Amino acid sequence: MDFTQSKRSARSRLMGGLQLTSMVDVIFLLLIYFLLTTTYTPPEARLTPALQAERVSGGAAADLEPQVVHVELVDGRPGFRIGERVLREQSSLRNVLQQLPKDAGVFVRGAHDAPVGFGVAALQAAYDAGFFKVTYVPAR
């Protein structure tokens, strides 16, 4: 006589209320739903430049004259200008900024018609060059 079979059926009859199959089905459906509907958000970072209004210069110049990086359209193309020097690449700007004294800080002035990407690139180049005092000056 096979007692094990009768024991198993008796046990399954008692535990028969628990239907895991449907529960697993639901969980897998939910998993698939969330996998399909979830949008991947790329990692973000922050730039934290100080903010200062543009001033019309007048009177005596300060002891430490800060460097100003102009972000503007030069000959119809966006670029960076330091004094008379026009740079088109962020790496070139970074190399130039690395050679400048860091104590006075650097000002980045963004022209209205220049793209945001170039303004952000100028700020990033200033931080990468080792400046700690980075200030954004919005054009009037």
Partner 1 sequence: MRFHGQHQRNRVTLPDITSMVDVVFLLIIFFLTTSSLVRATVSEIDLAEEAGNVEASLEERGLVVNVTPEGLYLVEGDAVPLDSLLGMIAAEADDEAGLADVEVLVRADKDAPLRPVNALASGLVELGVRDWKLATRVPPGVAPTASRNAPERP
Rounded Cα gap, residues 93 and 101, in angstroms: 14
The stretch near partner 1 (CB under 8 A) out of 44-52, 80-88, 93-101 is 44-52
Closest CA to 135 of 119, 121, 123, 120: 123
The correct pick among 69, 97, 129, 134 for binding partner 1 (CB under 8 A) is 134
Whether the CB-CB separation of 106 and 134 falls below 8 Å is answered with yes
Burial class (CB in 10 A: 0-12, 13-18, 19+), 93: buried
Strand pairing class (134-138; 106-110): parallel
Least distance in Å: CB of 91 to partner 1?
Answer: 13
Residue 4 binds partner 1, judged by CB under 8 A: no
The correct pick among 69, 93, 97, 114 for binding partner 1 (CB under 8 A) is 114
Interface residues with partner 1 (CB under 8 A) are 11, 14-15, 17-18, 23, 30, 34, 38-39, 41-53, 71, 105, 110-117, 119-121, 123-124, 127, 131-136, 138-140
